Structure 1
Amino acid sequence: MARNRKTATSVNSSTVSSALSSRYPSRASSPEPPRRPFRFFDLPSELRLRIYEELLWANRPVDLDPDNFRMILPRLALFLVSRRMHEEAYRVFFAQTIRLFPQTNRFYHTKKPLLQRLPIHYRNVINTMDLVFGPGWTKPPRCQNIKPDLGLLDCTNLRTLKIFVTIDPSEPVFNGFRGEGATEDTYKWFCVDLLRGILEQVPSLETIEIDANTSVKKHGPLLSALRRTVEAGKKRLIWGPRKQLDTDEEEPEIVALDGAMASMAISNEAPLAVTVQA
């Protein structure tokens, strides 16, 4: 009798287990189908370019910097995937802003700025460049020049130059700090000559954006000289975000002598007739 009871209990347990198994499938891992490689180049080109931007673009101008080993180099591993990916990726990478001369790091006095170190086919696709005036104003490093070997002549796709001015040594507050033989116009003309050289070597430039720290006057000597240089080169000038809403006083206009005399009702064409009554 006890044996029959055990048999019945076993049958009932099997029935319950089967019912539970059918209601709640087993969580045991089932064999996964073989994974197939993701066909990246089957994506639309617009989507591929967007992915490249997410992977390659930094949040600051690309420059010679000690942090590049950590920040930039891992991104460039994408160039090594295949020849086709390299052709697409390097054009996206060099579409971001490239700094012309290094700033405030151990590469500041380098003999070869980043542009000079790049192969020609990389220079050809650069379309935005960054230039900072101010650091080293007492003695600019020798690498800040526009010699032909810098590589500007190869920047045939360059369209925009962004200029940022940190200080204007032309202001009177810098009197006594300019160094031996330097005048208030020394650094101003250095910047103007540098900009003129860039405009001459890169005829493809269309837009020059000028911005500066809040302490630099929009119509001060340096920014005014840069503005006139851009206008003389017949390029489009736009002000950066810090200077767009600047309410600085207007630049004083140069008034010709004839205009000043005319405004005072004085003419230099005929002598004045003076009538004296006895």
Structure 2
Amino acid sequence: MSEHPSKSSGRRPSLTKPPPPAAPRKAQATAKKSQAAAHKLHVVVNKSQTAIQKPQALAQNPQSPEQDLQVPEQEMQDSAPAPAASSIDDDINNIPIASLTLDTPLIPLRKKPPRVPATPFHFLSLPSELRVKIYEYYFEDDGEVLDLSPNNYKSIHKKLGLMRVCRLLHEEATYYYYGTRTFRLFPTYPGKYFKSKRPLLARLKPRQRECLTTLELRLGPGWNAPPKGWAVNDALGLKDCINVHKLKVLVECDPSDGIFKGFRRSEGFYESFSRALLTNVLEALPAVSTVEFDAWSSVKKTGNMMSGLIKVAGETNGVAIRWGPERGWTDADEDEDTAATVAGPDPNRPLESVPIQGFGNSHNIMVVA
């Protein structure tokens, strides 16, 4: 009977795991290929560094022969050991990007300077009529009615920089811009602008107010509690508006209507406030000659609001009353205007294409009324 090998040798049996079996042939071949590829990559990196150092050495010592700077490929392969994969990755990451361009040097990205024409265009050499036409295209996106709002700085402030070019442009652009737009007397934009004590007209300079030709008074916002800034005083600057010949009055609502019952501050409060405000504005404007009334669809021409305002304008000397395009009112009464607008074919009158029975003759002639 054979004894256990551990007993015969006198050694204790090993408590550790047996060694792993040898790697298969495919795994060994794959490992050899990866080592060979890493070695080739290292050789390529050394070649690129040598090619970069070669012109630098020639520039420093032009008398040295080129053979001294060349390294035989066979010696490099024999002397250089196969590096590990991690060291190769570190070497590749440390290569500057300029080293990868051997033929063409790396040029930093530069922005092209702005194109400046060789012969600049002389804008002031144009006739004044053409310059005014250019101002029209330049300011066409600003709107016809200007009010105190937060959008003024974004849309208008930058464009007004044109007026700081020279004195001639300042005179022409100022006269055109302020003379072709309607400026609202009191702000209607909600929030702090609506309650501001300095309306847009008060923020303008006297020279700018002299160029104005049309103002707008919008009544209706804050009908139950008008802001304190809605007052005619010297700070408003109406005495400087010597070229304002038209005042537009737009009424948004009529608190005397029955729909406002129970919400009014008091009977006739806002109507009297509006009449007093219009009276003060007409007295402060030195050259106004036309008052144009207009309103929203809910406002009646015969209501207390409109009738009181029309009476104030009619009692002002030298002021003509006109009607705006919103409602299309005329000098006739509202009932007649409404009847003319709604009027159509008489419902009791038969259509011309329908024959009337009993009124035809023997020749089948159709008789119409």
Partner Cα separation in structure 1 for residue 327 and residue 320 of structure 2: 16
- Of 226, 240, 256 in structure 2, the residue corresponding to residue 170 of structure 1 is 256
* AA partner of residue 143 (structure 1): G
* AA partner of residue 325 (structure 2): P
Partner Cα separation in structure 1 for residue 159 and residue 165 of structure 2: 12
Match of 1:64 in 2: 148
1:197 maps to 2:290: no
- Of 157, 164, 167 in structure 1, the residue corresponding to residue 243 of structure 2 is 157
Partner Cα separation in structure 2 for residue 98 and residue 108 of structure 1: 15
Match of 2:209 in 1: 123
Match of 1:90 in 2: 174
Q: Does structure 2 retain, via aligned residues, the 8 Å contact 1:56–1:76?
A: no
Match of 1:46 in 2: 129
* AA partner of residue 76 (structure 1): L
Q: Does structure 1 retain, via aligned residues, the 8 Å contact 2:149–2:189?
A: no
Match of 1:236 in 2: 320
Question: Please, what is the CA RMSD of the aligned residues?
Answer: 2.1
Q: Does structure 2 retain, via aligned residues, the 8 Å contact 1:104–1:135?
A: no
Runs of 4+ in 1 over 4 A off after TM superposition: none
**Cα distance change of structure 1 residues 245 and 191 upon mapping to structure 2, 3 Å threshold:** closer
Secondary structure of 1:163's aligned partner = strand
- Of 285, 298, 302 in structure 2, the residue corresponding to residue 219 of structure 1 is 302
Moved more, 206-215 or 41-50: 41-50
**Alpha-carbon offset, residue 36 of structure 1:** 1.4
Q: Does structure 1 retain, via aligned residues, the 8 Å contact 2:248–2:292?
A: yes
Secondary structure of 1:72's aligned partner = helix
Runs of at least 5 residues in structure 1 that lack an aligned partner in the other structure: 1-33, 252-278
Partner Cα separation in structure 1 for residue 235 and residue 244 of structure 2: 17
TM-score, normalised relative to structure 1:
0.73
Partner Cα separation in structure 2 for residue 70 and residue 134 of structure 1: 28
Higher helix share: 2
Secondary structure of 2:146's aligned partner = coil
- Of 185, 196, 201 in structure 2, the residue corresponding to residue 110 of structure 1 is 196
1:132 maps to 2:218: yes
Q: Percent of counterpart pairs with the same letter?
A: 39
Larger Rg: 2
TM-score, normalised relative to structure 2:
0.56
